[in-house]
Amino acid sequence: MWLPAGSSPEFAKKLSAAAAEILKRPEVREKLNAVSLIPVGSTPEDLTKALAADTAFWQPIVKATGYKITN
Amino acid sequence: MRRICGGALWIVGNFWRDASGCRWPRGPVRRAQSGPLTKIIFPFAAGGSGDMLCRQLAQYLPPLVDRSFIVEDRTSGDGLIGIRAVKGSAPDSTTVLVTTGPTMYLLPMVENQPSFDSAKDFVPVSQLARFEFVVAVSPSIGVTDFKQLVAWIKANPAKASYGVPSSGTIRHFTGWQLEQVLGLSMTRVSYRGSAPIITDLLGGHLPICITTLSDTITQHRAGGIRIVAVSGPARSPFLPDVPSLKEEGSISSRTGGTACGCRPAVRPSSQRS
């Protein structure tokens, strides 16, 4: 979950905490599990870290494939 | 993420809630919401699992953040259209993007001229849920597990093709990695979505596919196609009997929940961290 650049970090934190709380509720977990989703929930910092780790992991692989789309 | 019957289920769900809760003539089912409106932009089709996640958030967020929420599915371009719609939106809490992790890190890598920079154009909020990818096979090739699949590919190199729902995605690159790790060559066939892939697997026109667990689990349980491996580092809680790629052929992998996606990857053992 993301906000456009320039958004208030306070709103991001509030939203993040609210989403994490919702994702812990049994009724929500049950619905998500039914469509094969595993609820996670995290802080904004964790999402930043995950994005960096994912980018570092996939960058060399994508580069090695040589795949590009023209836009 | 593309599901066909989900839309119908959602409508049924609404109808059911209408019948049990709201009274005519109140019109469409809406929860009492207050506060300014925030749009959740989701760049994939309504009715899929990600859309369902967005709708759960829209339902439960209002009392926690004092805003009301609606979900808008902005499809097409493998996520690009929705992401572009949020990029440059007013930073006034009226627009939120929920998308898969891979769209945020892969699209800028594969686009000739990246149309967004995840770190610069967006403020991170939260990882929401993880989903998994699988390797599944057609019943026509008579393979029941991953080791048998590897043997089949070796014995049938000319027939060894795998379908992915679109190119430039995790499924595409996972297939490529699998070829590297196994030292085998396969032909990648790019489809438009998972539904025609499942049809071709069932009809014996395609031997192998790499796609999401949610798109394949129903047919797997029904015995139509067989999931031979899940791509995460561990077994899926939804398929405890199916090994992960990490267990198979010493392929190491890692995964992590992101926006509403994950990083399921096969990784050559030489690159293991």
Kindly report the nearest CA distance between residue B88 and chain A, in angstroms: 6
Residue ranges of domains in chain B, CATH in brackets: 36-121 (3.40.190.150), 133-271 (3.40.190.10)
Mean pLDDT, range A40-45, rounded to an integer: 93
Cβ distance A37 to B49 less than 8 Å, yes or no, reads yes
Peptide bond preceding B25 in cis form (omega within 30 of 0): yes
B125 vs A15, A33, A38: nearest CB: A15
Cβ–Cβ < 8 Å for B133, B213: yes
Separation between Cα atoms, residue B152 and residue B135, nearest integer Å: 14
Q: What is the pLDDT of residues B71-81, one digit of tens each?
A: 999 987 788 89
Average pLDDT, chain A: 93
A66 CB neighbours in chain B (<8 A) are: none
B113 interfaces chain A, CB cutoff of 8 Å: yes
Kindly report the nearest CA distance between residue B245 and chain A, in angstroms: 17
Domain residue ranges in chain A: 9-65
Mean pLDDT, range B169-174, rounded to an integer: 87
B126 vs A11, A37, A42: nearest CB: A42
Instruction: Provide the whole-model pTM.
Output: 0.82
Separation between Cα atoms, residue B58 and residue A18, nearest integer Å: 11
**In chain A, % of residues over pLDDT 90:** 80
Q: Which residues of B103-124 are buried (b: 16+ CB within 10 A; e: fewer)?
A: bbbbbbbbbeeeebebbebbbb
Which of B80, B183, B173 has the alpha carbon at shortest distance from A66?
A: B173
**Confidence label for B249 from pLDDT (cuts 50, 70 and 90):** low
B111 vs A12, A55, A71: nearest CB: A71
Cβ distance B126 to A16 less than 8 Å, yes or no, reads yes
A30 interfaces chain B, CB cutoff of 8 Å: no
CA atoms within 13 A on the CB side of B43: 27
H/E run at residue B38? strand B37-42
Mutate to test the interface with A, among B123, B131, B230 (most CBs of A within 10 A): B123
B98 CB neighbours in chain A (<8 A) are: 1-2
Cβ distance B263 to A69 less than 8 Å, yes or no, reads no
Mutate to test the interface with A, among B31, B105, B107, B125 (most CBs of A within 10 A): B125
Q: What is the pLDDT of residues B190-222, one digit of tens each?
A: 998 888 999 999 999 999 999 999 899 999 999
Kindly report the nearest CA distance between residue B154 and chain A, in angstroms: 22
B137 interfaces chain A, CB cutoff of 8 Å: no
Which of B246, B248, B259, B253 has the alpha carbon at shortest distance from B271?
A: B253
- Provide the pLDDT for residue B251: 53
- Provide the pLDDT for residue B94: 96
B194 interfaces chain A, CB cutoff of 8 Å: no
- Provide the pLDDT for residue B213: 92
Write out the two tokens for B232: 């995460």
Cβ–Cβ < 8 Å for A24, A41: yes
Cβ–Cβ < 8 Å for B99, B260: yes
Average pLDDT, chain B: 81
Residue type, B76: S
Q: What is the pLDDT of residues B6-43, one digit of tens each?
A: 333 333 333 333 333 444 444 444 555 578 999 999 99
Write out the two tokens for B89: 């939106």
